[in-house]
Amino acid sequence: MAVIETRETFVGTSVKRREDASFLTGRATFIDNLTLPGTVYMAVVRCPYPHARIASVNLDAARAAEGVVAAFSGADLAEDWKGSLPCAWAVTEDIKMPPHFPLAVEEARHQGDGVAVVIAESRALAKDAAELVEVDYEALDATADVERALEDGAPLVHADLGTNECYVWKLETDGVQAALDAADVVVTRRYVQPRLIPNAMEPRGVLAQVGPTGEATIWSSTQVPHILRFALQIVLGIPEAKIRVIAPDVGGGFGSKLDVYAEEALVIALAKRLGRPVKWTEERSENYVATIHGRDTVHELTFAATKDGKITVVKSEAKCAMGAYLQLVTPGIPLLGAWIYNGPYDIPNYSVTFTGVFTHTTPTDAYRGAGRPEATYVLERTMDALAAELGIDPIELRRRNFITEYPAELASGLTIDSGDYHASLDRLLELLDLDSIRSEQTARREGGDTKLLGVGFSTYNEMCGLAPSRILGAIRYAVGGWDSATIRVQPLGSVQVVTGTSPHGQGHETSWSQIVGDQLGVALADIEVLHGDTAVSQLGMDTYGSRSLAVGGVALVHASAKIVDKARQIVSHQLEVSADDLEFADGTFRVKGSPEREMTIQAAAFQAHSAHNLPDGMEPGLEATATYDPPNFSWPGGAHAAVVEVDTETGDTRLVRYVAVDDVGAAVNPMIVEGQVHGGITQGIAAALWEEAVYDEDANLLTTTMTTYLVPTAAELPSFETDLTETRSPTNPLGVKGVGETGTIASAPAVINAVVDALSHLGVTDMQMPATPERVWRAIQEVKA
Amino acid sequence: MIPAPFDYEVAESAEHAIALLGEREDAKLLAGGHSLLPAMKLRLARPSVLVDIGRLAELSYVRDEGEYVAIGALTRHRDVHHDPLLQEHCPVVSFAAGTIGDPQVRHRGTIGGTLAYGDPASDLPAVMLALDAELVVRGQGGERMVPASEFFTGVFQTAIASAEMLVEVRVPKRAAAGWSYTKMTRRAQDWATVAVAAIVERTNGAVGKASIGLTNMGATPLRASAAEDALAGGATIAEAAALIPDGTDPSTDYAASADFRRHLAKVLGRRALEEAVAR
Ligand SMILES: Cc1cc2nc3c(=O)[nH]c(=O)nc-3n(C[C@H](O)[C@H](O)[C@H](O)COP(=O)(O)OP(=O)(O)OC[C@H]3O[C@@H](n4cnc5c(N)ncnc54)[C@H](O)[C@@H]3O)c2cc1C
């Protein structure tokens, strides 16, 4: 491994993001900025009912409309599909995996299910003509409620399955029941976690072109160009080798673009049929029904504990909405949290059960945190419930249960490599000044103030850096969890870095160049990072699950080491010294003991390319590829606190302070880390106080626009106070853990715990997310009554 | 996101706009566009032609007319908010305009547009109702004056006839009165869940006579007459506030149920009256 001996490193400094120059000056390239000569535009006709039989589709009027090139129903295109849109995670052997084709043919199963497409010379003409498609729907009963969907006689999403139960998955250690029986106290709570809409700033978009010999190029606003490529072979039958997927600048994803969507297959099929490039840009309201949602679970969580607060059992039973179909990883989302239902606590007995449930709704899938916010929410809420039950301070209760020795083998079977949960909590309490908050809280209560204060905590950990491929195999995930890097030192010494990760806002170009800059001792300006094009980056598993740095970033280190090794051999040959006698630092090889004899890595690169004088048998060029499969997950953790002010007369709840101390391992770029923490926290707070996809009894989505689905803005939020504690991960040479999801995982329970804390003296013990003014006010009325 | 097809005409004067409106039955005036364009993009509104009055500088003004302040229909919320004349004589108007949406909305949206749209969740309608403002409506046959109490006729409905336009709003000067516009929103830029406008004449530091306007408590902006009468009859603020929901018919939506809105109207009403008396 290349070791930096003398020079200050780039890693660990807040280098400004090189991406921002183009983003901030409007020169980024998003799908909607791309057009090829002859491009035609697709509009999708979507079912307005939550569930309907499609009696007929009449395309005559649409086909006759101005500018229309073609129009197709689901039946018209059925022969184009060689396979269903894939679901890569059959979580159990007997999971029910109903087929899911890009357009519905006989039955539509959620609002927004595509039933026909219209292709026209402009986007507006396609949209106008789509209104002329006459679909004869016969509306059928539907439900959007996970609990109702499991009742006898519930409307079935897939009638042929005879049930809405998709799977039951269970992980349980021996002796859970005995430990429950032996416990001093048992606390069980029920939690509803609402459905969330990811709201990437850029909705999805796709553009496809198919050449005369069947080679297909697709530009997609996706997080997963590599996964998309092989999925497209499955759906379309085009050999992967003939498919090129390009993810240009991608305006956010939060997991919603970690997927393979109907429209991606449709534009290729249509481009092939029509011999013209086909483009589709999602509308915002369309995004609300056609792009995956997150969460939507009902949990029952049980803790058993001794009377001095040592937790002996965690047992979770959850019903998790799948929606109407299984998208790429829909059934696996709960499992991403399955191993952290103990959180940062040492709990010897462990039982987690998930029931996947079909409902007549847009499919769910990965949304920032994916499975781990759900787990952390029920865990941290129940921590407070247990503390209240035992009369132990919630902070003290957490401390009594923290894992303190590493590696920590969990009852669930995994091993946490490192951490220091006390250290994060200590630092949090330093920043928070809890005493003055408590005295202000008491003063307001005693003074009869209608604006009460509450403070809530969440100490958490997460399992990310997805993922050791063997473990993925063991839990029935279809693909691997490795990633790759290729480094090419050019003849004159500049460096191309090709990564298999696919950034969509995370600043990989900056952080990756910091890592390679250190490893090779070259200037940041001499490093170019390439990504997001399967013709450029052949190998990769893309970006999601806080995996890019802990997997793809580590691959950079391994590839750099190979470069340095080869360069060392060249230098050794040219200077006629043993390779062992060369030191490498700051991009220069020096002979030990006579440092005036030296050669830079750039000079070595020139020698490698001129090939005039290489060691016998050495291939010219200075390029290396490394594929890294992590031996373990990575385990960030930390402590968060929220302070809220609740207006007891109106229920209006405002966040007044938010303090977060995270341990994400080594921070490659602290500024980028901070950005991720802020954004992540905001999304968790959003779930706690504002966001909720609301359906009526008949499964009609009511929150269909940004006017009613309340994404908070900077105006609603205080300035967050953040800090880091650091325990380096011993699992990888960078010591990194991942930061993309920490904030979202930690923040929602801290906020809700704070709301409950504000009202606890009145007798309020529970609050459902989001804590809307009406819910808060009603909770107060209930305890008054 | 993409409206249905429409034609577009630029009006050169109010008369020109009115003439253009008369030519096509489903023509619509386009002022700030911050209600109309979102509705068109969702294809909820489908005018065949837009008559753009957004450039009519002649209709953007705030003037002292002695008894009242006249506001041209094209005056932007931002300008209403910052106008010194309004701040002095009708402070509740400029204050309420400053609570509309966000800076972008306030720079585009117009007072004429917000009144003509007839959205019961909008802020200035209830304020105008509480102030007994008068609205000047012009048609091919000339101008007529409509009191605010007769202007708002239903959800998205007003007394403006199809080939008419609102040209001016006349707000009585009430510099001496205490005032408040107390608004609760989910997010800063949202429409009011409920808001209460209170204009109060003080006698010996207590409420003498009050006008109370309600935002988002029914199909139109409403006056809380029962509460106003109670105050005139000597009731305390708390007693009167309890009567504010009388005669209202709020809706249930994403922000609140009807019942909760009735409750909020009492709390916000009490707070508004207390603030008005003190200011
Ligand atoms: C994000 C957002 C937040 C908002 N928040 C608020 C809020 O908190 N409170 C609030 O009150 N409003 C809010 N609004 C609405 C905003 O105030 C609008 O600007 C206003 O309601 C309409 O004014 P406009 O000039 O934009 O009218 P337009 O959208 O141009 O027109 C609205 C309607 O009025 C008609 N019209 C316009 N001018 C005239 C006229 N002179 N005579 C006759 N008819 C006319 C039009 O034909 C159209 O039917 C918000 C809007 C947005 C987009």
pLDDT confidence of residue A368: 98
Total count of domains within chain B? 3
> In testing the pocket of ligand 1, which one of B15, B53, B92, B105 has its CB within 8 Å of the most ligand atoms?
B105
Average pLDDT (A335-347) is 98
Is residue A5 pLDDT above 50, yes or no? Answer: no
Same domain, B185 and B166: no
Could you give phi then psi for residue A578, rounded to 5 degrees?
-70, 145
Task: Give A384-393 pLDDT, tens digit per residue.
Answer: 999 999 999 9
For ligand 1, atom 4: residue with the closest CA:
B101
Please give the helix or strand (H or E) that residue A177 lies within, else none.
helix A176-182
pLDDT confidence of residue A1: 40
- ipTM at complex level: 0.97
Same domain, B147 and B221: no
pLDDT confidence of residue B205: 79
Please give the helix or strand (H or E) that residue A748 lies within, else none.
helix A742-759
Per the CB < 8 Å rule, is A650 touching B186? no
Is residue A573 pLDDT above 80, yes or no? Answer: yes
Same domain, B166 and B65: yes
Query: Which of B4, B5, B260 is nearest residue A774 as measured by Cβ atoms?
Result: B260
Residue-averaged pLDDT of chain A: 97
Query: Which of A123, A702, A778 is nearest residue B254 as measured by Cβ atoms?
Result: A702
Q: B166 in ligand 1 pocket by Cβ < 6 Å?
A: yes
pLDDT confidence of residue A517: 98
Task: Tell me, yes or no, if A694 comes closer than 8 A to chain B by beta carbon.
Answer: yes
Is residue A611 pLDDT above 60, yes or no? Answer: yes
CB A724 within 8 A of CB A663: yes
Same domain, B45 and B129: no
Is residue A7 pLDDT above 60, yes or no? Answer: no
Q: B100 in ligand 1 pocket by Cβ < 6 Å?
A: yes
Per the CB < 8 Å rule, is A703 touching B260? no
- H runs (alpha helix) in A494-637: 508-520, 554-575, 601-610
Sign of CA dihedral A157, A159, A161, A162: positive
Domain of B247?
A: 178-278
Could you give phi then psi for residue A480, rounded to 5 degrees?
-90, 175
Task: Tell me, yes or no, if B184 comes closer than 8 A to chain A by beta carbon.
Answer: yes
Residue B208 pLDDT class (50, 70, 90 cuts) = confident
Residue B25 pLDDT class (50, 70, 90 cuts) = confident
> In testing the pocket of ligand 1, which one of B16, B25, B26, B36 has its CB within 8 Å of the most ligand atoms?
B36
Where in chain A do CATH 3.90.1170.50 domains reside?
39-140+201-252+257-290
Average pLDDT (A331-345) is 98
Query: Which of B1, B186, B264 is nearest residue A284 as measured by Cβ atoms?
Result: B1
Same domain, B64 and B90: yes
Where in chain A do CATH 3.30.365.10 domains reside?
20-27+482-628, 372-465+633-784
Average pLDDT (A180-193) is 98
Q: B30 in ligand 1 pocket by Cβ < 6 Å?
A: yes
Sign of CA dihedral B37, B40, B46, B49: positive
pLDDT confidence of residue A4: 42
Q: Looking at residue B14, which CATH number applies to its domain?
A: 3.30.43.10
Same domain, B69 and B157: yes
In CATH, the architecture of A20-27+482-628 is: 2-Layer Sandwich (3.30)
Residue numbers in A near B272 (CB within 8 A): none
Q: Locate the chain B residue with the closest alpha carbon to A712.
A: B187
Task: Give A206-261 pLDDT, tens digit per residue.
Answer: 999 999 999 999 999 999 999 999 999 999 999 999 999 999 999 999 999 999 99
Task: Tell me, yes or no, if B188 comes closer than 8 A to chain A by beta carbon.
Answer: yes
In whole angstroms, give the CA distance from residue A179 to residue A653: 39
Q: B103 in ligand 1 pocket by Cβ < 6 Å?
A: no
Average pLDDT (A553-557) is 98
Residue B203 pLDDT class (50, 70, 90 cuts) = confident
Average pLDDT (A582-596) is 96
Q: B113 in ligand 1 pocket by Cβ < 6 Å?
A: yes
Per the CB < 8 Å rule, is A690 touching B186? yes
Q: Locate the chain B residue with the closest alpha carbon to A282.
A: B1
Is residue A165 pLDDT above 90, yes or no? Answer: yes
Fold entry, domain A372-465+633-784: Aldehyde Oxidoreductase; domain 4 (3.30.365)
Q: B73 in ligand 1 pocket by Cβ < 6 Å?
A: yes
CB A508 within 8 A of CB A223: no
Q: B184 in ligand 1 pocket by Cβ < 6 Å?
A: no
Q: B165 in ligand 1 pocket by Cβ < 6 Å?
A: yes
Task: Tell me, yes or no, if B84 comes closer than 8 A to chain A by beta carbon.
Answer: no
Same domain, B225 and B263: yes
Residue A6 pLDDT class (50, 70, 90 cuts) = very low
Query: Which percentage of chain A shows pLDDT scores above 70?
Result: 99
Average pLDDT (A699-722) is 97
Determine, yes or no, domain membership for B27.
Answer: yes
Residue A192 pLDDT class (50, 70, 90 cuts) = very high
Sign of CA dihedral A559, A564, A565, A571: positive
Is residue A8 pLDDT above 90, yes or no? Answer: no
Task: Tell me, yes or no, if A32 comes closer than 8 A to chain B by beta carbon.
Answer: no
In chain B, which among 89-118 make CB contacts under 8 A with chain A? Answer: 102
DSSP category for residue B42: T
Quote the crossing angle between the two packed helices A372-390 and A394-401, to the nearest 10°.
110
Same domain, B193 and B272: yes
> In testing the pocket of ligand 1, which one of B6, B34, B136 has its CB within 8 Å of the most ligand atoms?
B34
- Picking from B149, B172, B195, the residue at the C-terminal end of a domain is B172
Angle at the Cα of A223 (from A544 to A94), degrees rounded to 5? 65
Determine, yes or no, domain membership for B193.
Answer: yes
Q: Locate the chain A residue with the closest alpha carbon to B4.
A: A128
Task: Give A419-478 pLDDT, tens digit per residue.
Answer: 999 999 999 999 999 999 999 999 999 999 999 999 999 999 999 999 999 999 999 999
Alpha-carbon torsion, ordered A168, A170, A175, A176, to 10 deg: -70
Q: Looking at residue B201, which CATH number applies to its domain?
A: 3.30.390.50
Average pLDDT (A32-40) is 96
Interface probe for A, chosen from B186, B193, B262, B271 (most Cβ of A below 10 Å), is B186
Fold entry, domain A39-140+201-252+257-290: Aldehyde Oxidoreductase; domain 3 (3.90.1170)
Residue numbers in B near A283 (CB within 8 A): 1-2
CB A428 within 8 A of CB A399: no
Task: Give A732-767 pLDDT, tens digit per residue.
Answer: 999 999 999 999 999 999 999 999 999 999 999 999
Task: Give A278-296 pLDDT, tens digit per residue.
Answer: 999 999 999 999 999 999 9
Write the secondary structure of A241-288 as one string of H (helix), E (strand) and C (coil): HHEEEECCCCCCCCCCCCCCCHHHHHHHHHHHHHCCCEEEECCHHHHH
Determine, yes or no, domain membership for B235.
Answer: yes
Task: Tell me, yes or no, if A287 comes closer than 8 A to chain B by beta carbon.
Answer: no
In whole angstroms, give the CA distance from residue A169 to residue A318: 10
Structure tokens at B44: 């909820």
Query: Which of A284, A285, A713 is nearest residue B187 as measured by Cβ atoms?
Result: A713
